[in-house]
A and B are shown apart, each in its own frame.
Chain A
Amino acid sequence: MLKIDNLHVKLEEEDKQILKGLSLEIPAGQVHAIMGPNGSGKSTLSYVLSGRDGYEVTEGSATLDGQSLLDMEPEQRASAGLFLAFQYPVEIPGVGNMTFLRTAVNAQRKARGEAELSSGDFLKLVRAKAAELQISPEMLKRPVNVGFSGGEKKRNEILQMAMLEPRMCIMDETDSGLDVDAMRLVSDGVNALRSPDRSFLVITHYQRLLNHIQPDVVHIMANGRIVKSGGPELALQVEEEGYGDLLAEAG
């Protein structure tokens, strides 16, 4: 599904290399987690894959289902099935959450040559999915993320994910700022979306999220590269020992 090969990325503004030959492959249906110390380039990876401005790819490739992501506009990547759950979801004053969702859903359907959802179908769908995430009808009417608590913002990201039904979900520190209950809600939402033709890349600092969302593979990232990959036990090791030994081992 997602294949990243020898990816080198630098900041556009300054001559600073962030990713230095990162390679990663996530087959369909799998959940991969990336852990790593601050400044290892985890968030950069999520931004480069989703097409945010400010980064320059100097070498390497990234493909989704064989299509090169790096040549596409952000919205084309989205319609191709790439979804990024933001670490800091953005506020859009004056734009109703429901309006935003509906515009997004229909924009993607249109881009894929599908018919737009009717008003009735859309409402039915959004209500059902919102209820699962304990998102109130009132929250659907409020402006996008404006005045939302940390937990509400993250649940809202998962609601968007559920509505857009992406093939490849990247979650950038979705657990940051969540209390135990919110973490469970978010994880349940994500687990409900797991399917044989959908993959996840979960970026996190902490192992505890991975108790709720069981990964197939855990990668340790440091200094712009994957330095070690393994099973879920690798996350437990990090939790117990920190990154020190792992990084020393990887040189």
Chain B
Amino acid sequence: MTATIDLEVREGVDRETVETVQSMGSYKYGWDTEIEMDYAPKGLNEDIVRLISQKNEEPEWMLEWRLEAYRRWITMTEPKWAMLNYPEIDYQDQYYYARPKSMEVKPKSLDEVDPKLLATYEKLGIPLKEQMILAGVEGALPSPGVDMAIAASEGRRVAVDAVFDSVSVGTTFKDELAKAGVIFCSISEAIREHPELVKKYLGSVVPQSDNYFATLNSAVFSDGSFVYVPKGVKCPMELSTYFRINAENTGQFERTLIIADKGSHVSYLEGCTAPKRDTHQLHAAVVEIVVLEDAEVKYSTVQNWYPGDEEGKGGIYNFVTKRADCREARAKVMWTQVETGSAITWKYPSCILRGDESQGEFYSIAIANNMQQADTGTKMIHLGRNTRSRIVSKGISAGKAQNTYRGLVTMHPRATNSRNYTQCDSLLIGDQCGAHTVPYIEVKNTSSRVEHEATTSKVDDDQLFYCRQRGMDEEEAVALVVNGFCREVLQALPMEFAMEAQSLVAISLEGSVG
């Protein structure tokens, strides 16, 4: 009987995909919200950094931290080693802070939030009212992030932190989480309310000086999410952040800090979208995760930033630094990402396996269609003894897109008896796209083992014809074959994400055949 139920669930998932392919247009989240905004003056200098800090009502130490980053950043140059081709970014031709006017006085609760903002999230399928989440939502678009309706129907709840351009609009279920001792709030609030935690951990995984984009983020990050799960606590619900870029010519620089104290567990979901704009927009985020002894963190992303049009006009430039530090023994972290959006993706969610017997996993689907370029992968830094890591990467290229997997596995001298397994598969659709695999492997002890398997294949005409002979149209057939190719990663996603990811896979490949 168990088998039947399992089967039916999966059947449902696939049917959803197929229906979505047939019913959806290409980029579903390309609309914008007309809302009055406060901008910082265009460009970047120390005054802007001070202004952002002041808008967030930050203490002096935070401003100093930012300024230190800024002063470092102006001495740095943009990295050029990735297989990405894009025109020079003019960092002075951007806004670094944009806040809806109605957020000037911070709403004390969700009831006080501007209805326009609430409506925006509602339309995205992310209702910010707790009771609505419980009741399930009807009529909302399938969300690129968390599928609340499914979560609700399963009796599960998801807390949301909603970030709109430079500010956090609101966070749900805060009180209930607080009862379990879990702190879930915007990072600007954490800086004010929990300075001891922020001071201790901010920059401890991704230092201010880490890389060009992380340093830029350290100087100008405006908001983001903060999570602290205390010792021994299993977080009573999934946590999520939903990022929405709305304003034009504005970069989004969010910073997320997650701390899982000894023996705790948390699952965290991240979703992102942006309106269709003709100009490119910059997104440079930093995510830091600290995992202490016996703690476990699962971090899942569905990245669906606007990818630009077929000619490569517009779209998000996504330069993101994500890193987890398994700081103590038996800490465990799992990254799962579905990357379908952005014109440019530069992103390598990494694991530092410092604690003995700590474990890192990375599951990724990266899809690049039309003129999109993705250079993404992971780093597994084995420092502790008996550490384990596993990488499963599925890259799909279509149109004229270029898709690069770039990975580093390193076994330090002390990391004895450690293991890594890497599987890296590329799928090509059509004959004008490219797939590239760049694995770096360093082993500095004799007892560790690293395995790397890689395949490159094309969507097979025989497979498509077989599906079509059975009645599926070409796009349905491609979606089915590609979903099959991604199966292992889709199965690693939380249920709420898996459905959405399946449909996204299909939508992202629209127009890639025929």
Interface residues of A (CB under 8 A from B): 50-53, 73-75, 77-79, 83-84, 86, 89-96, 98-100, 102-108, 111, 119, 122-123, 137, 141, 143, 160, 164
* In the A-B complex, the 4 residue pairs with the closest CB atoms: A94-B484, A94-B487, A95-B484, A104-B470
Q: Are B14 and A103 in contact (CB under 8 A)?
A: yes
CA separation between A92 and B470, bound complex, in Å? Answer: 13
Write out the residue numbers on chain A whose beta carbons fall within 8 Å of the beta carbon of B465: 52-53, 74, 90
Residue interface mask B1-21, A partner, CB < 8 A = 1: 001100110111011001000
For the complex, is B93 an interface residue (Cβ under 8 Å from A)? no
Q: Are B473 and A107 in contact (CB under 8 A)?
A: yes
CA separation between A104 and B471, bound complex, in Å? Answer: 6
Nearest chain A residue, comparing its CB with the CB of B14: A99
Q: Are A73 and B11 in contact (CB under 8 A)?
A: no
CA separation between A98 and B13, bound complex, in Å? Answer: 12
CB<8 Å pairs between A and B, sample of 26: A73-B474, A74-B465, A74-B468, A75-B472, A77-B469, A78-B468, A86-B466, A93-B487, A95-B480, A96-B14, A98-B7, A99-B11, A99-B14, A100-B470, A102-B15, A103-B14, A103-B15, A103-B476, A103-B480, A104-B470, A107-B470, A107-B476, A108-B471, A122-B11, A123-B4, A141-B7
For the complex, is B118 an interface residue (Cβ under 8 Å from A)? no
Q: How far is the CB of A135 from chain B (nearest CB, A)?
A: 15
Q: Are B462 and A94 in contact (CB under 8 A)?
A: no
Nearest chain B residue, comparing its CB with the CB of A163: B470
For the complex, is B483 an interface residue (Cβ under 8 Å from A)? yes
Write out the residue numbers on chain A whose beta carbons fall within 8 Å of the beta carbon of B11: 98-99, 102, 119, 122
For the complex, is B152 an interface residue (Cβ under 8 Å from A)? no
For the complex, is B398 an interface residue (Cβ under 8 Å from A)? no
Which residue in B471, B485, B487 is a CB contact (below 8 Å) of A111? Answer: B471
Q: Are B4 and A92 in contact (CB under 8 A)?
A: no
Q: Are A92 and B463 in contact (CB under 8 A)?
A: yes
CA separation between A104 and B473, bound complex, in Å? Answer: 10
Interface residues of B in 1-49 (CB under 8 A from A): 3-4, 7-8, 10-12, 14-15, 18
CA separation between A17 and B502, bound complex, in Å? Answer: 43
CA separation between A137 and B4, bound complex, in Å? Answer: 10
Q: Are A96 and B10 in contact (CB under 8 A)?
A: yes
Q: How far is the CB of A128 from chain B (nearest CB, A)?
A: 15
Q: How far is the CB of B430 from chain A (nearest CB, A)?
A: 14
Q: Are B481 and A95 in contact (CB under 8 A)?
A: yes
CA separation between A94 and B469, bound complex, in Å? Answer: 19
CA separation between A143 and B469, bound complex, in Å? Answer: 18
Q: Are A164 and B471 in contact (CB under 8 A)?
A: yes
Write out the residue numbers on chain A whose beta carbons fall within 8 Å of the beta carbon of B466: 86, 89-90, 92
Q: Are A84 and B469 in contact (CB under 8 A)?
A: yes
Apart from A94-B487, A106-B15, what are 16 other A-B pairs with CB-CB below 8 Å? A51-B468, A53-B465, A74-B469, A75-B472, A83-B469, A92-B467, A95-B487, A99-B11, A100-B480, A102-B15, A103-B476, A107-B473, A119-B12, A122-B11, A123-B4, A160-B470
Q: How far is the CB of A12 from chain B (nearest CB, A)?
A: 13
Q: Are A107 and B15 in contact (CB under 8 A)?
A: no
CA separation between A83 and B468, bound complex, in Å? Answer: 11
Q: How far is the CB of A101 from chain B (nearest CB, A)?
A: 8
Q: Are A99 and B10 in contact (CB under 8 A)?
A: yes
Write out the residue numbers on chain A whose beta carbons fall within 8 Å of the beta carbon of B485: 93-94
Most A CB contacts (10 A, CB to CB) among B4, B465, B471, B472 go to: B471
Q: How far is the CB of B122 from chain A (nearest CB, A)?
A: 29
Q: Are B484 and A75 in contact (CB under 8 A)?
A: no
Nearest chain A residue, comparing its CB with the CB of B9: A119
Write out the residue numbers on chain B whose beta carbons fall within 8 Å of the beta carbon of A100: 467, 470, 480
Write out the residue numbers on chain B whose beta carbons fall within 8 Å of the beta carbon of A111: 471
Q: Are B462 and A143 in contact (CB under 8 A)?
A: no
Q: Evaluate whether A107 and B472 lie within 8 angstroms (CB atoms) in the complex, with A86-B466, A92-B484, A119-B11 already known.
A: yes
Dominant secondary structure of chain B at its interface with chain A: helix
- Tell me how many residues of B have a C-beta within 8 Å of chain A: 33
CA separation between A108 and B485, bound complex, in Å? Answer: 24
Write out the residue numbers on chain A whose beta carbons fall within 8 Å of the beta carbon of B471: 75, 78-79, 104-105, 107-108, 111, 164
Q: Evaluate whether A78 and B481 lie within 8 angstroms (CB atoms) in the complex, with A102-B11, A103-B14, A123-B8 already known.
A: no
Q: How far is the CB of B261 from chain A (nearest CB, A)?
A: 38
For the complex, is B486 an interface residue (Cβ under 8 Å from A)? yes
Q: How far is the CB of B17 from chain A (nearest CB, A)?
A: 9
Q: Are A119 and B472 in contact (CB under 8 A)?
A: no
For the complex, is B461 an interface residue (Cβ under 8 Å from A)? yes
CA separation between A78 and B487, bound complex, in Å? Answer: 27
CA separation between A100 and B11, bound complex, in Å? Answer: 9
Residue interface mask B484-502, A partner, CB < 8 A = 1: 1111100000000000000
Which residue in A53, A95, A106 is a CB contact (below 8 Å) of B483? Answer: A95
CA separation between A164 and B467, bound complex, in Å? Answer: 13
Residue interface mask B446-465, A partner, CB < 8 A = 1: 00000000000000111101
Which residue in A51, A53, A77, A143 is a CB contact (below 8 Å) of B461? Answer: A53
Q: Are A78 and B484 in contact (CB under 8 A)?
A: no
CA separation between A184 and B99, bound complex, in Å? Answer: 73
Q: How far is the CB of A72 from chain B (nearest CB, A)?
A: 11
CA separation between A160 and B487, bound complex, in Å? Answer: 23
Q: Are A92 and B480 in contact (CB under 8 A)?
A: yes
CA separation between A164 and B474, bound complex, in Å? Answer: 18
Interface residues of B in 160-211 (CB under 8 A from A): none
Q: Are A102 and B14 in contact (CB under 8 A)?
A: yes
Q: How far is the CB of B413 from chain A (nearest CB, A)?
A: 39
CA separation between A230 and B462, bound complex, in Å? Answer: 34
CA separation between A54 and B469, bound complex, in Å? Answer: 15
Q: Are B15 and A78 in contact (CB under 8 A)?
A: no
Write out the residue numbers on chain B whose beta carbons fall within 8 Å of the beta carbon of A119: 8, 11-12
Which residue in B4, B472, B484 is a CB contact (below 8 Å) of A104? Answer: B472
Write out the residue numbers on chain A whose beta carbons fall within 8 Å of the beta carbon of B467: 92, 100, 104
CA separation between A106 and B467, bound complex, in Å? Answer: 13
Write out the residue numbers on chain A whose beta carbons fall within 8 Å of the beta carbon of B10: 96, 99
Q: How far is the CB of A120 from chain B (nearest CB, A)?
A: 8
Write out the residue numbers on chain B whose beta carbons fall within 8 Å of the beta carbon of A96: 10, 14
CA separation between A94 and B15, bound complex, in Å? Answer: 15
CA separation between A77 and B469, bound complex, in Å? Answer: 8
Nearest chain B residue, comparing its CB with the CB of A145: B466
Write out the residue numbers on chain B whose beta carbons fall within 8 Å of the beta carbon of A143: 484
CA separation between A164 and B485, bound complex, in Å? Answer: 25
